[in-house]
A and B are shown apart, each in its own frame.
Chain A
Amino acid sequence: MCGIVGYLGGSSAAAQPVLFDLLKRLEYRGYDSAGIAVMNGSIQVLKTKGSVNNLMSETPILRGCCGIGHTRWATHGKPSSKNAHPHCCDTNKIAVVHNGIIENYIEIRDKLIDLGHKFRSETDTEVLPHLIEENYNNDLESSVRQALSMVRGSYALAAISSNDPDKIVVARKDSPLVLGLGETGFFIASDVSGILKYTKDVIFLNDRELAVISHNGIEITTLDGKKVDKKIETIKWNAESAEKSGYPHFMLKEIFEQPDVIRETFSGRMSAEGVDLEVVMPDARRIIITACGTSYHAGLFGRYVIERFARIPVNVEIASEFRYINPIVNSSDLVIGITQSGETADTLAAVREVNLEKSQKFGIVNVPGSSITRESQCLFTRAGPEIGVAATKSFTSQLAVLLLLAVQLGRARKEMSTADANDFVYDLKQMSGNIQRVLNEADNIKKCALVFADADQFLFMGRGANYPIALEGALKLKEISYIKAEGFPAGELKHGPLALIYDGVPVVAIATEGVTYEKMLGNIKEIKARGATVIGIANESDTKIEKYVDRVLRIPDSNPWISPVLSSVVLQLFAYYVADYKGCEIDKPRNLAKSVTVE
């Protein structure tokens, strides 16, 4: 989690404002404490508990053209100014910022304490500056290299030393790091969206690579000291996409971007004849989808559509569990990792795990150039930068990619006729417009949300491909409004959750047209009989539903395999308006961060 930044420029007034700005842009990665270190002869450190704004209100102006910074999401040691990065060695000659986890830090710390080092924080990171100091041999680069050879775990780090001024040494292993080459200097960030305002020319550092940034340029080697030639890549995204442009929250902006996003996702990938994706592996005997959180829900949806259209058995696994169930994977299996950021540690690890089994694999990912894209072939969801911690447009674009994938696999395996594929593509083309029609009804959804905003618990239920949407609807609501919310397959209710129903408890029932519709009506009757207040999500042409539920939220009539996408947009807006009414910090829900780069 956490974000690290760095800057080396020409002007001595430049470093502090640039570091603050870079940190603001990375704040979604963590925001419980922040700090910077700027070099001007000696190293000056400024750090505080809380957001980057708190840091910026600490007045001292640090002069210097070279510095590093950090915004933290606590893993080792509670959020406090003491535990905030950067961390320094005893003599304050070395400062380090770090994202990741040093697994053997206790062992190293005990040794260093025996050698007389004094530790000031509870963090794993603090061993790094001390270890570098202990191994210091006149140049920062070789000292960092020496120190890292003793460290186990994951890291993206940046170090500066007053003994070796105007130089930043960075290295990465299993945590993301990007270098930017701009007109006004060199930039370092955990995420490419951080530096886009300054430059579009970037270098993605790979695992076990170390870079030295000085006024002479950037020199990259492996941790073992072999020289590496890296390509400078030009990013096509615009920094614009990373700002709110008139919306009160990024989440609302991202919800309203979905019609455009879906068109972008489909662009050039469909024709009158069918679907044309960049990566397909149609000969798999079994597909294993592994993902976390919202992406896991997309994976569950993927299972329904792939099994339906391509008749390939699909398992969907939570990535953090997948590694520990001794997965039985062989070379005729296809493993698909789904991750918005491409940096999700658990998903990356799960996909790496199956590497050993030589099975086929690919990723479904949003962020170009992210770690997963350098390890596997990938299908891009093309949702553009997503800043709100609660995933919205990245989710619907994942669903869109999975629908395309299902159709293409179905065609390749002759499970789906050309005519059926043709019809389905026709329906897919209406998806963007239908999402727009859902958004046109945002005011109705808001009215409904406000009626229920004071409830202290919610249940969501659906059947078939609507079941993952019920899970996702509950996740959205709980993560941004902090209301207890759970999703269930509607048929499971009477096996337990029905006990949660009491008079007036709101239940969201996704009852859109399809094979499960009649069964859903039956389930709705069950919970109504026990006093629940039911909010039904139904098609606009459904005339029966009003007799069964207390309130109806409508979606346009659509193919039953596509209507789950429309229902999920309704539930995003529902969650948003509830959280907004409650005054929650929607874009940065407590305890959560956007890219989960720790396992």
Chain B
Amino acid sequence: MKAIILAAGEGIRCRPLTFTRSKVMLPIANKPVIEYAVRALYDNGIVDIIIVVGYAKERIMNYFGNGKDFDLNIEYVEQKQQLGTAHAIDQVKDLVDDEFLVLNGDNLVSAKTITDLIKRHEGGISILTVASANTTEYAIVEETNTKVKRVVEGQKLKKVSNINTGIYILNPDIFGAIRETLQSNLGEFGITDSIQNMVDEGYNVHAYKTNHTWMDVAHSWDLLDVNARILEDVSRSVHGTIHGTTKGQVKVGSNSIIREGSYITGPVVIGKNCDIGANVVIAPSTSIGDNVTIEPFTYIRNSVIFDNVYIGSQSTIKNSIIAENNIIGSHFTTDTGKNLLIELGGNLYRADEFGTILGDSNIIGGNVSMMAGTLVGTECRIETGTVIRKQIPNHSLVMQ
């Protein structure tokens, strides 16, 4: 069976991190989200994968190539305009002639999650669901004895807590239904509309529930929680040169150096070619990418640092996300707060707890402090001694 991974969207709610990469390429324990889906498919014996790409496609294609490094055959199909999942799946109609599995590249899944669907599938169309308290942001699936009655988005139904994971087994019959959906709707439309049409016409559609991993990084700050949970399963493997102390589940890549007096408590992953210390403390649930330099006396906890970042000395970074190519001066401090209200595109969202989220390629002077819940865009310059709060748009210059 072939698998289709949908990876064309930007993931607007994960801005500023998605200004320069799509949501599927956000790193979790130093691997992009989509890699977990790819490996889960591989573990289920699925080696022919088609990735539907669009927004920032180069990063995805560079990462997986044609799949040989992963023992897989990977093909790419471009969805030029992001017009919803039905349109995305429609892009592969010439490449499949049998049943195929569909999943979203931006959801974190395990191999067992996929197995739950494959094992129980009995022909027709199958949908994988999970129980969730949050039924408003996902489609809910109403079924009796696995037979699906309704798939609806943005509604509440009494006694229904099963939400759609976006993982399906479909067959070429779906393309007819997609054609009808495409003609009858304007703007974006989901594959759930097409499936609902098929249900209405009496097609054999079943839903099965999984209890295994299915996580969604809905907002940029959710990355911290998902990262922390995945780090729990990291096993210790230390390369590079370690002069400091590493305790517990710590992973350090080749050519990295951890200098004297540094103290790292796992779970922590550190990539290749990093230079850390002396006397840097890295506390649990932190991921640090490749080519990162951290100057002496800096403290980092529960944070995600992407590749090519420079962090000056005497800085404190907690519950924060720092994307690629940031250059941060000394004495950088992130405040952290709980129950934050964050405004994105005119809507208010509640975040449990986080500090700061920096997009790519900012240059930050010395002695800069960030209040809890700050979001900084990309390519900003923030001058020495400033205190930053709320949101800074891309290409801003912040002066004292």
Contact = CB atoms under 8 A, between A and B. Distances in A.
Given A246-B53, A436-B324, A267 B272 contact: yes
Contacts of B67: 240
A246 B361 contact: no
Given A246-B61, A437-B361, A556-B361, A271 B275 contact: yes
A433 B66 CA distance: 24
Interface in A412-446: 426, 429-430, 432-434, 436-437, 439-440
Interface stretch (B68-76, B93-101, B103-111, B195-203): B68-76
Interface string B127-164: 00000000000000000000000000000000000000
B58 A439 contact: yes
A260 interface: yes
Contacts, number: 79
B76 A246 contact: yes
A243 B308 contact: no
A320 B293 CA distance: 44
A437 B325 contact: yes
Contacts of A432: 291, 308
Nearest to A255: B58
Given A263-B273, A266-B273, A429-B291, A271 B361 contact: no
A500 to B, nearest CB: 36
Contacts of A238: 68-69
Contact of B255 (A239, A243, A256, A267): A267
Interface string B366-391: 00000000000001000000000000
Given A246-B57, A256-B58, A268 B66 contact: no
A255 B74 CA distance: 21
Contacts of B20: 440
A247 interface: yes
Given A429-B291, A434-B325, A268 B68 contact: no
A137 interface: no
Interface in A438-492: 439-440
B321 interface: no
B244 interface: no
A498 interface: no
B261 interface: no
A433 B325 contact: yes
A529 to B, nearest CB: 33
A433 B272 contact: no
B327 interface: yes
Contacts of A263: 273, 290-291
B308 A433 contact: yes
Interface in B256-313: 257, 272-273, 275, 290-291, 293, 307-308, 310
A12 interface: no
Contact of B66 (A240, A267, A556): A240
Contact-residue size bin, chain A (C-beta under 8 Å from the other chain): 20 to 34
Interface in B102-125: none
A484 to B, nearest CB: 31
A241 interface: yes
B62 A256 contact: yes
A286 B290 CA distance: 37
Contacts of A437: 325, 360-361, 379
A253 B59 CA distance: 10
Contact of B62 (A260, A266, A272): A260
Contacts of A268: 254-255, 273
Interface in B4-56: 20, 53
A59 interface: no
Contacts of A429: 291, 293, 308, 310
A257 interface: yes
A238 B66 CA distance: 11
B134 to A, nearest CB: 34
A245 interface: yes
B273 A436 contact: no
Interface of B: 20, 53, 57-58, 60-62, 64-69, 74-76, 254-255, 257, 272-273, 275, 290-291, 293, 307-308, 310, 324-325, 327, 360-361, 379
17 contacts: A239-B68, A240-B67, A245-B64, A245-B66, A256-B58, A263-B273, A267-B255, A267-B272, A272-B275, A426-B310, A429-B310, A430-B310, A433-B361, A434-B325, A439-B58, A440-B20, A540-B379
Interface of A: 238-241, 243-247, 253, 256-257, 260, 263, 266-268, 271-272, 426, 429-430, 432-434, 436-437, 439-440, 540, 556
Given A256-B62, A429-B308, 18 more contacts: A239-B68, A240-B65, A240-B67, A240-B69, A241-B65, A245-B66, A246-B60, A246-B66, A257-B62, A263-B273, A268-B254, A426-B293, A430-B325, A433-B325, A437-B379, A439-B58, A440-B360, A540-B379
